[in-house]
Each structure stands twice: as C-alpha cells, then as structure tokens.
C-alpha cells in the first residue's frame, strides 16, 4: 500500500510506467504458464523424438539349396568383440585432465590458474584481455588424444587376454566417434571357438567391451558352383524401403550370380530399433526399443544336383592344375541345369570382408580370369562341334550328302587332306580319301563340310544357327550372360565372302557360350524343342509356419520349335553316336560301357594375325542314345584336342550318372521284391 501511495504522490507518467511494468510481468507469467503447463506434453514428446535415433537392422539372408535340399549357401553365427564408447566417458575425462596438466606443466603454468567463464566475462566488460592457458583447438586435440589412449588401452587388454595382436587405428576411431558414436565399435571380428571359450570361462571385466553375435553368409562347399551362386559385397548404406535411418548396421548385398539376381528375395525385410542418445551423441544402452522385427529372406531352391555338381567340377579340374574351362550338364527333357561350373574358381566367402589388391588382381588376371563365369559369359569359337549345325543346314536345304566325296591330299602335309578355295588352302585334320557323311562326321573332316556349306550358301547356315537362338541370351536367371557373336545374314550379306562361309561352317569367325551349346545339343537330342534353361525351381518362405505359398518357376518352358524334319535330327544323332562308339571316332574317349554316349568333338584355333596363340577344345554330347536324358558340354582353353582333353571329362560325368542310375534301379528292385 505504501508503494501505491508513493505512486499517487508523483506525476502521472511515472504511474503509467509502473503499471506498464506490472502488465509486462503479468504477460510474461502467463506465457511461462502456457509453455510449462499447457504445452508441457508437446515439448516432452519433441525432446524424446530428438533424443532417439533409428537403426536399420538387417534380416538374416535366405538359404540357397540344391534340387533335393542340400545346402549350397546358408548362414553361420559370427562372434565379434565390440566397444561401447559411452561407457568409457569417465576414463576419457580423467585422461583428458591428465593430458591437460601435463601440457601446462611443460609450459611452466599452474593448471589452477586457467581463467574460468565468470573471469572472462568480467574481464570483457572491463575491456581487459584474458589469455587462456590452452586454446580451444588444443583442447579438441587433447580430448581426441585422450579418447585414443583410453580406447587403445582397452584394445591392449583384449589383445593380452586373448593372445592376439590387435592395434587401434586413430583415424578409424575418430571417424567412428564423429559419425556413429551411438553404435558399438568392432575391435575384433571372427572370433575363434577358443577365443569365445576364453571369454566365457574367464568372465569379462574390461569396461565397455562385449561379445556380439551376427549371422554371416556361409558357403559350405567352398569354391563349388561359386560362379553361379555368386558372392556378396558389403553394403552398409543400402535402404531399399526408401525410409530414413540415422544408422545402418553392417549389411551385405548380392554382387553377382544368384545372390544378385534374387537379392531382394534372399535379403528379406530389415527391422528397425530406436536407441536413446544424450546431448553428446552417446547411447543410453538401457533405453532401446524394437520398432519392427527383421523378416528373414526366402529360401531359394535351385535345379542343381549337388553330387553331380561335385563330380562335374572334379572331372573338369582333372585336366590339370591350371585348367581354364567350363562344364554344363542339362536335363534335355525340360531344360533344367543340373550342374554348371567354371575353372578356375574362387571362394565366395572371401568377399565378405573385402579382398586385397593382390587378390583382386588375381581374380581379374587377363589370362586366368577366375572371376569370369566361362560357362555363361565367355564367348568361344565352337570349332568342329558347329558341324552339327552345318550338317542340319545341309540336310534341311534338301541337298543330300554325297554318298562318296573325295578329300584331296594336302601337298604340304602328307597324310592330311585340305580344301582349295581360290588361292587359299584350308587345312584338314582328317586324312585324304573317300568320305560319306558318317565317316566325315566322326573323322571331323573340314574339307567335307566346307564343300557342302558352300553349296547351300551362307544364309542357310546362319538361319539354321538362329533357329537354335545362337547370338542370343539363353535367359538363365543368373543375370550374367554373353550373347556370343553370331550375326544374321542381313547384317553381313554384303561383307562376307565364301572364305567367311568356309570358316563359319567349321566353327571359326563366330563365338558361342557353353550354355548356348548345351541348349542347342539338347534340342538336337530331343527332336527340335528349344527350352529356356531353368536353374531356379522355387522360392519358399523362410518360416514353415508361413501361409505364403512358394513361388515356383515352371519347368519345361518351351522357347521355340526348330523347323527341321525329324529324320534329319535322327541322322545327326546317329552320327554323334558313332563318333563315340567307333574306334575311329574323335570322341571315342567318352565311351561308357552300358550307357550309349553320343557326341561331337571340336578344336578351334585362336589367332592374332597369322600367329596361333591358343586352342579352344570342346566336347558336345548327350546320353543315352536310346532314351536321351542328359546333355554334357565340356570346354577347355589351351587343350590338346576335343577328343583327348574334353571327352575324358565327359566320360567321368556320364560314368557317375550311369552308376547312380544303376544303384537306384537295384534299390527299387530290392524294395519291390521285399516286405516294407
């Protein structure tokens, strides 16, 4: 009351000012009440949202199986030691103070004299300059050094207890602290069972260090079918959902092969969790919330036969320690790929942690090229196995093979034939003499097939090859295929001469893949049906309790029918049978007693200018003759000949198939005759 009495005694202006001050204080009080009471819930929610960070959690990758359920790729537990930096913060501060005192002592300064905030504010109003004993940039560096020393000490303790050499990289630590402070930092990956046992038995008293489990891709058969299975690559920033994540735990994506072609199915759906962080960006480990569970990837069931794949690759590698080649085994009745291999191969698992520059150079070496899938991506001159197409082209043209054809003697190579085309002499591996079609086929006479190809013309030969879709991809679901080089007649009709036709008729100047030839030979054996090759049978849900039906790839999908009469296919099949059965046949080394193998050998020359630099050897075959079921294609670079190098590889594969079928037959007979 005294205050208001005093206001009444002064002038009116002072009273207005006083009431204005009181009014302002009232408005401020109302505003504070609204912020702290009415809007409390909204601001609390905002603080919570700002404090939580979302983390993408990768799903467990789906398995890859062979046709009967044998594992080709799955997952295994991988243990690693991780450090939580938030638990080391007290030690960081202690070490920082120690480093600070050490620096000040070296400068002859008393650490206690460092001016505080209040001193600096007062000095600023008095227009005095106060120099800090340690500059801000020095403080940052000291704190960085403190973090490194403390974490290095932790790593050293781990190293001593486990008996392994570990070293901490300072730039790596700084990058993790700056970008992913809320996540644990891995200090030791791929712990051995012995190391895990040591940790479990001893207990773990090192602050901030914990054992973590992560599923890791496993290829139980090493290099087996590596090119078709493919491999993974590290992909920490992958986000197919298009959502926003503050952090992403380490993930992998398919790089090549089936792993890449079916990556979205095998990868599954990632989960998400939220972690609470403080203002410094450190994680509160007790405050973690799962937002969505990760859904495992689907199981991919292939058409591959694990046992047959093993036999096929062993047979291919039996050629020699530095074999460069490919093998394809196909069910010619429906196009199922039963085995497909390429040599040399590689370990798919080595890509999980990245490969060295030396290993990268080895995988992509210009000559050996282990990373190349020679079965589907390599284009090779087919050599004499293309005479299958030339023979069908001649037969389909309406021209009958001469019952007798005289192959002349090569004057420069006695004992060998040749074909004289203008001024050019084309050598023959077959001896001179009289030939009919069967003998010309099994002796692989270049002269015989060149002569007949020139009679029917280039269009007929190329069009016949295109009926089998040479020069096109087969459509195998691996995402890696070469078309080879097989032009259409319209593309080269004004450029190619009779010399080019002579070369094409014996498998030169064109390239094919082993898989393309497997499709072609299958069509010859089954009477003219060209199938889309199938390597994936179905995709199954990862959980047996799922109501989602499997996604099946229909077998036996027909691509086209070759418009060639059945009798012409029969004539070629008979010749292929004789090529293996006859002692004179170039494919006799593929003979399997009791299992009628039919085939054609080939050897193509690789030249640079006029200099021979390599040979591509082939054996294209099917069996058995009476009831064709299997196609086997073998290709080897730098081989001796198709008959000596590739036919024995095919024989080993057919021998396994024959023995397995006989054992299954005996088992079936025994079962039918016994009592269940």
* More confidently predicted of 198 and 670: 198
- Helix (H), strand (E) at residue 519: helix 514-526
Phi/psi zone of residue 32: left (φ > 0), alpha (ψ -120 to 50 degrees), beta? alpha
Higher local confidence (pLDDT), 419 or 293: 419
State yes or no: pLDDT of 186 exceeds 90. no
DSSP letters, 110-147, are: -GGG---HHHHHHHHHTT-----SS-HHHHHHHHHHHH
pLDDT (0 to 100) of residue 674: 46
Q: Which pLDDT tens digit goes with each residue over 79-129?
A: 888 888 877 888 888 888 888 888 777 766 665 555 555 555 555 555 555
Q: What does each C-alpha distance from 670 to 594, 656, 658, 659, 673 come to in angstroms?
A: 21, 21, 18, 16, 5
Of 537 and 5, the structure prediction assigns the larger pLDDT to 537
289 pLDDT band, cuts 50/70/90, is confident
From 228, 245, 224, select the one nearest 481 (Cα to Cα): 228
Give residue 35's pLDDT. Answer: 65
pLDDT digits (tens, 9 = 90+) for 487-505: 999 999 899 999 999 999 9
Q: How far apart are CA 234 and CA 213, in angstroms?
A: 18
Position with higher pLDDT, 425 vs 193: 425
Q: Taking the model in full, what pTM does it have?
A: 0.82
Residue 5 has pLDDT above 70, yes or no: no
- pLDDT of the residue at 530: 98
Length of the chain: 676
Spatial separation of the C-alpha atoms in residues 653 and 582, rounded to whole Å? 20
Judge contact between 428 and 410, C-beta under 8 A: yes
| Residue matched to tokens 């429906």 | 334
Residues 323, 329, 335, CA angle at the centre, nearest 5°?
A: 145
The pLDDT value recorded for residue 278 is: 62
- What does the angle CA 336 – CA 384 – CA 570 come to, to the nearest 5 degrees? 60
Give residue-wise pLDDT tens across range 119-178.
Answer: 555 555 555 554 456 777 888 888 888 888 988 888 888 888 888 888 888 888 888 888
CATH fold label, 306-346+371-536+562-670: Beta-lactamase (3.40.710)
Return mean pLDDT, the chain.
86
Domain residue ranges of the chain, discontinuous segments joined by + = 87-161, 306-346+371-536+562-670
């Amino acid at each position: 009351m005294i205050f208001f009495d005093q206001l009444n005694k002064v002038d009116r202006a002072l009273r207005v000012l006083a009431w204005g001050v009181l009014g302002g204080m009232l408005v401020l009080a109302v505003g504070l009440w609204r912020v702290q009471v009415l809007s409390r819930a909204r601001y609390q929610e905002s603080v919570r949202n700002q404090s939580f960070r979302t983390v993408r959690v990768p799903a467990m990758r789906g398995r890859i199986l062979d046709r009967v359920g044998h594992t080709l790729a799955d997952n295994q537990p991988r243990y690693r030691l991780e450090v939580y930096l938030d638990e080391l913060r007290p030690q960081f501060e202690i070490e920082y103070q120690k480093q600070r005192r050490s620096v000040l002592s070296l400068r002859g300064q008393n650490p206690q004299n460092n001016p505080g905030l209040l001193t600096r504010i007062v000095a600023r109003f008095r227009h005095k300059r106060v120099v800090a004993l340690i500059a801000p940039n020095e403080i940052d560096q000291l704190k960085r050094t403190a973090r490194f020393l403390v974490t290095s000490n932790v790593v050293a303790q781990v190293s001593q207890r486990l008996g392994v050499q570990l070293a901490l990289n300072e730039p790596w630590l700084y990058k993790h602290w700056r970008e992913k402070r809320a996540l644990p930092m891995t200090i030791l990956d791929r712990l051995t069972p012995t190391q895990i046992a040591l940790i479990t038995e001893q207990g773990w008293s090192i602050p901030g260090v914990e054992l973590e489990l992560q599923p890791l891709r496993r290829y139980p058969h090493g290099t087996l079918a590596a090119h078709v299975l493919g491999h993974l690559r590290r992909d920490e920033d992958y986000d197919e959902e298009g959502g926003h994540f503050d952090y992403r735990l380490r993930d992998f994506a398919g790089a090549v092969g089936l792993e890449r072609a079916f990556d979205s199915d095998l990868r599954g759906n990632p989960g998400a969790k939220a972690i609470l962080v403080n203002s410094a960006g450190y994680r509160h480990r007790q405050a973690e919330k799962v937002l969505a569970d990760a859904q495992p990837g689907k199981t991919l069931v292939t058409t591959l036969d694990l046992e047959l794949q093993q036999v096929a690759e062993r047979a291919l590698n039996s050629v020699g320690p530095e074999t460069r080649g490919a093998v394809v085994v196909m069910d010619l009745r429906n196009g199922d790929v039963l085995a497909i291999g390429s040599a040399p191969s590689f370990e798919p698992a080595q890509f999980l942690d990245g490969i060295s520059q030396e290993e990268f150079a080895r995988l992509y070496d210009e000559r050996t090229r282990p990373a190349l899938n020679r079965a589907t991506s390599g284009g090779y001159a087919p050599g004499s196995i293309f005479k299958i197409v030339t023979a069908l082209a001649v037969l389909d043209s309406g021209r009958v093979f001469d019952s007798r054809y005289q192959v002349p003697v090569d004057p420069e190579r006695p004992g060998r034939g040749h074909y004289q085309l203008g001024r050019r002499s084309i050598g023959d591996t077959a001896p001179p003499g009289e030939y009919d079609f069967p003998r010309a086929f099994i002796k692989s006479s270049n002269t015989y097939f060149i002569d007949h190809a020139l009679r029917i013309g280039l269009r007929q030969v190329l069009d016949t090859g295109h009926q089998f879709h040479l020069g096109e991809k087969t459509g195998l679901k691996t995402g890696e295929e070469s078309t080879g080089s097989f032009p259409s007649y319209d593309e080269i009709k004004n450029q190619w001469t009779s010399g080019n036709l002579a070369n094409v008729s014996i498998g030169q100047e064109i390239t094919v893949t082993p898989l393309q030839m497997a499709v072609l030979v299958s069509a010859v054996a089954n009477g003219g049906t060209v199938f889309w090759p199938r390597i994936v049978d179905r995709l199954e849900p990862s959980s047996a309790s799922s109501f989602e039906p499997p996604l099946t790839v229909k077998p036996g999908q027909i691509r086209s029918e070759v418009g060639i009469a059945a009798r012409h296919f029969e004539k070629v099949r008979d010749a292929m049978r004789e090529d293996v059965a006859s002692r004179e046949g170039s494919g006799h080394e593929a003979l399997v007693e009791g299992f009628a193998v039919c085939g054609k050998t080939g050897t193509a020359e690789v030249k640079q200018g006029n200099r021979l630099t390599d040979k591509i050897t082939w054996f294209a075959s099917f069996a058995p003759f009476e009831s064709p079921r299997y196609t086997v294609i073998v290709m080897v670079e730098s081989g001796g000949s198709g008959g000596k190098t590739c036919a024995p590889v095919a024989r080993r594969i057919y021998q396994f198939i024959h023995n397995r079928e006989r054992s299954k037959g005996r088992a079936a007979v025994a079962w039918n005759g016994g009592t269940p």
